[in-house]
Amino acid sequence: MPLHIWINGAVALFVLGAAVATWRLRRNALWREAGRELWRRRPLALAFVALYSALALCDSISWIDAEGTGVREPRSLLVRAFPVDFQEASYSAPLADVEFYGGQPLQHPGAHWLGTDILGRDVLLQALRGARVALLVGGLTSLIAIPLALLFGVAAGYRGGWLDDLVLFLISVLFAMPGLLLLIALIMALGRGPVQVCVALGVTGWVSFARLARGETLKLRELDYVQAARALGVSELRIIVRHVVPNLMHLVVITFVLMFSSLVLTEAVLAWLGLGIDGSWGQMIDRARDELSRDPIIWWNLTAASAALFGLILAVNLVGDAVRDILDPRTLRERA
Amino acid sequence: MSERVLEVEGLVVTFPGDTGRTAVVDHVDLTLDAGEALALVGESGCGKSMTALSLLRLVPKPGRIEAGRIQIAGQDVLTLPIPALRSLRGRGAAMVFQEPMTSLNPVLTVGAQVVEAIRLHERVGANAARRRAAELFAHVGIPDPEARLDAYPHQLSGGMKQRAMIAIALAARPKLLIADEPTTALDVTIQAQILDLLRDLRRDSGMALLLITHDLGIVNEVADRVAVMYAGQLVETGSRELVLGAARHPYTQGLLRSIPALAPRGARLSEIPGSVPSAGAWPSGCRFHPRCPRAFEPCPRIDPGWTELRAGQRARCHAVAKEEAS
């Protein structure tokens, strides 16, 4: 019986990678301390983030059933938690027994906790599946934008001279363009797939962190321990890798968390313009626009997607603020 | 005990100013043999630290070494290609900086930093390097060295940090240790411990020590020879006994009179009027003449040359030259 295992996109790798990275960081006393402090301050928000991550992970491990079961599409762990043919003909209200228009009896009466959409698909399942897309947008884009920003920012700040001028010019040019227009143009040029959208978001999103990294590197470059390393005969590359970049890591973590939520929101804006990723909350909200003007009103679609989006953004922002408080060198010094 | 470790001749370091490049270090000559300790003394802003940095070609931009010759352990520092210069740094001469609080990388354990310094200059495995690091820590008097290797800088006191810095500097067994105000940021009891440590290290390993300081009390305790610097120039050099006991240059005399422990008991402590002129605004002739109690007719016009005194003592002063001539 051949079992096809589909790792859907990169999300499973992100979640597992993040788990492994967290585990590895526990070996470093400074990070372990910061992690404990974070858990002490924001247990609920962290639990929420973990919940969303678990949902995304469950939705990214999928496989095709053996022949003879009648289903050809690969189905994820998350989808498998619901009945195989969990679908109605059209709209139904949350926990309803009959269709919203017409009053035909449902196949699964009372089972759709958040109702169904125009095609009769379960809204709860769609909202849960949105977590995978959100993590893809936030994770993959950060993975593109942050290394790019570190590379340009640190190189410019450390080397100075013409390289600094060049990078600053690039940053100024990107800042001078209206972000959304540039984003739309890039997506038009690259195509509409999920990876393309992430690349477009990443390429436009690195500038502000690059500027921050450059400024911080300028400061670090003159610090005593960098001078001391130089006096010991440490090569410039090694100084960057061991003495400059590790001292930027707190900024990387803070930027990652704060960037994550803004990226998920930007995707929602793109979806509203019809340029989003299939299955995202943004797309659900976009589709629900017309339903608000129906009579009687179809409210559960919009509500479910918005609540799911709101929950993730709020949790991530709360974690982000706590992370900033904990990792900011000024508050760090007070605790030490 | 006579191996020449450091030889500096006519060192000139310039920085760009309003009127072209001005020399903040102006024709400085220094020599240092193995096992010897030389103290470079002067007020803040007289070019001591810049002299120290230039020895390893670490002068920060836009500063530049304009002229001169520097030899460390027989190698010509100023013409050395970068890779060779890198291996000279740390192995030929190592530096200990003034601020132990900021001279250690806050995100690495001190052990990792010692191990880095060891493995930079020697091909040894991680475990062997760690053992060496623990030995170094024990050597510089850090109690419980094994455990302290895993401490972060913020977990150590100032004195411990300075000991760790010295351990890092000693990692590659340098022939010359340049210590730039190593005890200025520490309190007095810790100061004494660090100075004892430096003296012991020098005695045990035959390492030469170049001590940069403005504290003549420290000079008295540690140095064999003293070089006094004023406004970018050396003004008096000689053995510790002669320079501290029978100083000839009015600037050195002024410095000595302003130290409570060395001044005659009961006498009013004196100070040198005015302050060090800033680089680029140096007076003509002898640079000390506006503040000098013994300035006379040639001082504002003619730069005094060296006057050789007894036993290698030299002073750059018209008044001393006149005394010697008569």
Q: What is the ipTM of this complex?
A: 0.84
* B95 occurs within a structural domain: no
Q: Within an 8 Å CB–CB cutoff, is residue B117 touching chain A?
A: yes
- Token look-up 């035959």 returns B206
Cα angle A23-A213-B86, degrees, rounded to a multiple of 5: 85
Which tens digits make up the pLDDT trace of B101-144?
Answer: 888 998 889 999 999 999 998 889 999 999 999 999 998 889 99
> Does B185 have pLDDT greater than 80?
no
What domains lie within chain A, and their CATH numbers?
A: 4-123 (no CATH), 125-335 (1.10.3720.10)
Residue B315 domain-assigned (yes or no): yes
Confirm whether B319 is domain-assigned. Answer: yes
pLDDT confidence of residue A325: 87
- Number of folded domains that form chain B: 1
Query: Is A262 at the interface with chain B, CB within 8 A?
Result: no
pLDDT single digits (tens) A93-147: 888 888 888 888 888 888 888 988 888 889 999 999 999 999 989 988 999 999 9
Query: Could you count the other beta carbons within 10 Å of the beta carbon of residue B240?
Result: 18
Chain B hits for A230, Cβ within 8 Å: 58, 89
A 30-69 → B contacts, CB under 8 A:
30
- Residue in chain B lying closest to A236 (CA): B86
Extract the tokens encoding A309: 């989006």
SS3 percent helix, strand, coil of chain B, rounded to 5, is 35, 25, 40
Structural domain harbouring B264: 4-84+214-325
Q: Which pLDDT tens digit goes with each residue over A147-167? A: 999 999 999 999 989 999 999
Q: Are B158 and B184 in contact (CB under 8 A)?
A: no
Q: Which residue of B has its CA nearest to A333?
A: B154
In a domain, residue B174? The reply is no
pLDDT band at B1, cuts 50/70/90?
A: very low
Kindly determine whether residue A231 and residue B104, on different chains, have CB atoms separated by under 8 Å.
no
3-state secondary structure (DSSP) of residue A39: helix
* Residue B104 within a domain: no
**Residue B102 sits at the chain A interface (C-beta within 8 Å):** yes
Which pair of structure tokens corresponds to residue A205?
A: 């999103």
In this complex, is the C-beta atom of B169 within 8 Å of any C-beta atom belonging to chain A? yes
**Per-residue pLDDT tens over the stretch A180-233:** 899 999 999 998 888 889 999 999 989 999 999 999 999 999 888 998 999 998
Nearest neighbour of A230 by CB, restricted to B58, B150, B154: B58
Please state, in angstroms and rounded to a whole number, the distance separating the CA atoms of residues A56 and A9: 11
Residues of A whose CB is below 8 A from B85: 233
* CATH code for position B33: 3.40.50.300
CA atoms lying within 13 Å on the CB side of residue B77: 27
CB under 8 Å to B55, separation ≥6 — which residues?
A: B6, B8, B70, B72, B77, B93, B178, B210
Contacts of B103 in chain A (CB under 8 A): 224-225, 227-228
Please tell me the distance from the alpha carbon of residue B134 to that of residue B115, in angstroms, as a whole number: 9
Residue count (chain B) = 326
Measured between CA atoms, how close is B54 to chain A, in angstroms? 11
**Cross-chain residue pair B97–A228, CB shorter than 8 Å:** yes
> Do B103 and A29 lie within an 8 Å CB cutoff?
no
Residue-wise DSSP of A120-172: -BBHHHHHHHHHHHHHHHHHHHHHHHHHHHHHHHHHHHHH-HHHHHHHHHHHH
Average pLDDT over residues A242-270: 91
In this structure, is residue B114 part of a structural domain? no
Interface check for B120 against chain A (CB to CB < 8 A): the answer is: yes
Specify if B235 maps to a domain. yes
B81 Cβ contact list (under 8 Å, min separation 6): none
- Whether B118 and chain A come into contact, CB under 8 Å, resolves to no
Give a yes or no: residue B172 inside a domain: no
